[in-house]
């Protein structure tokens, strides 16, 4: 299925927590958006794989995604192997997104940084004609832009997407992941081991901070590896 934009994420809910606002805006602009989760998140502290599958389905529906897939790599063992990157490259040729989003290659969570590396390598390889011919699938295609979104380590963003107008809907989408928001048991204070605070509080803090960087109420930060084409700058005004 042809997509305009594809978000790659190590675990279900990563795409939503970090990028739901951007996905909603892309769709509002008429683009077809998909999400590829690399694992089923079965090593997450809270929720069974079955619960998480149901929650992902609900979030997918609420977001109105055109497509959602899962590479079924083992959670906590997502690895940037040649095999995984070639599976991903084939998938990129098949869906042919023009905009690609993945976690950052330097993220502290090893699954996140593996996701970032896999996406960067597969993005490059998806554009090689001979690789496409060898695999017998659709012809070579490389997304025009590869952005990295934020996970557990901050970076200086090139762009911030103003998601103020869709913030309330993003919160609803995150709430689909009820198992991730509730404490697991008496010892579980519902807070992240590294950062403290629960998922929604942290998402809001980050959105407000990066929103203010561009003078907006809520924003989602994006990293790009080089300069962006400025068009005629009219989009800034």
Q: Answer yes or no whether residue 73 interacts with a second copy by CB under 8 A.
A: no
Is the Cα dihedral 148, 2, 73, 51 positive or negative? positive
Nearest distance from C-beta of residue 79 to a second copy, angstroms: 6
Nearest distance from C-beta of residue 3 to a second copy, angstroms: 13
Could you give the angle at the alpha carbon of 165 between the alpha carbons of 163 and 171, nearest 5°? 70
Q: Answer yes or no whether residue 209 interacts with a second copy by CB under 8 A.
A: yes
Residues 162-201 that bind a second copy (CB under 8 A): 162, 184, 193-197
Nearest distance from C-beta of residue 158 to a second copy, angstroms: 6
Question: Which 3 state secondary structure label does DSSP give 207?
Answer: helix
Nearest distance from C-beta of residue 206 to a second copy, angstroms: 7
The most distant pair of C-alpha atoms in the chain lies apart, rounded to whole Å, by 56
Among 3, 10, 99, 115, binds a second copy (CB under 8 A): 99
> What span, in angstroms and rounded, lies between the C-alpha atoms of 200 and 226?
31
Contact mark string toward a second copy, 31..60, x via CB under 8 A = x----------xxxx---------------
> What span, in angstroms and rounded, lies between the C-alpha atoms of 52 and 142?
31
């Amino acid at each position: 299925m042809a997509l305009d934009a594809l978000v790659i994420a190590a675990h279900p809910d990563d795409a939503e927590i970090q990028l739901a606002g951007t996905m909603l805006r892309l769709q509002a602009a008429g683009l077809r958006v998909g999400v590829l989760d690399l694992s089923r998140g079965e090593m997450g502290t809270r929720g069974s794989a079955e619960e998480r599958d149901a929650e992902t389905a609900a979030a997918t529906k609420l977001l109105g995604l055109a497509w959602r897939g899962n590479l079924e790599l083992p959670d906590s063992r997502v690895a940037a192997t040649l095999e995984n990157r070639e599976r991903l490259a084939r998938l990129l040729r098949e869906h042919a997104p023009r905009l690609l989003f993945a976690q950052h290659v330097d993220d502290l969570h090893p699954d996140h940084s593996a996701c970032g590396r896999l996406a960067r390598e597969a993005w490059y390889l998806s554009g090689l004609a001979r690789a496409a011919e060898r695999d017998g699938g659709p012809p070579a295609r490389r997304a025009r832009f590869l952005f990295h979104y934020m996970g557990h380590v901050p970076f200086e963003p090139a762009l911030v997407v103003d998601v103020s107008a869709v913030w309330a809907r993003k919160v609803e989408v995150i709430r689909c992941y009820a198992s991730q928001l509730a404490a697991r048991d008496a010892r579980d204070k519902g807070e992240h081991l590294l950062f403290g605070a629960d998922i929604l509080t942290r998402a809001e803090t980050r959105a407000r901070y990066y929103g203010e960087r561009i003078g907006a109420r809520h924003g989602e930060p994006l990293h790009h590896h080089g300069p962006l084409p400025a068009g005629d700058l009219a989009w800034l005004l």
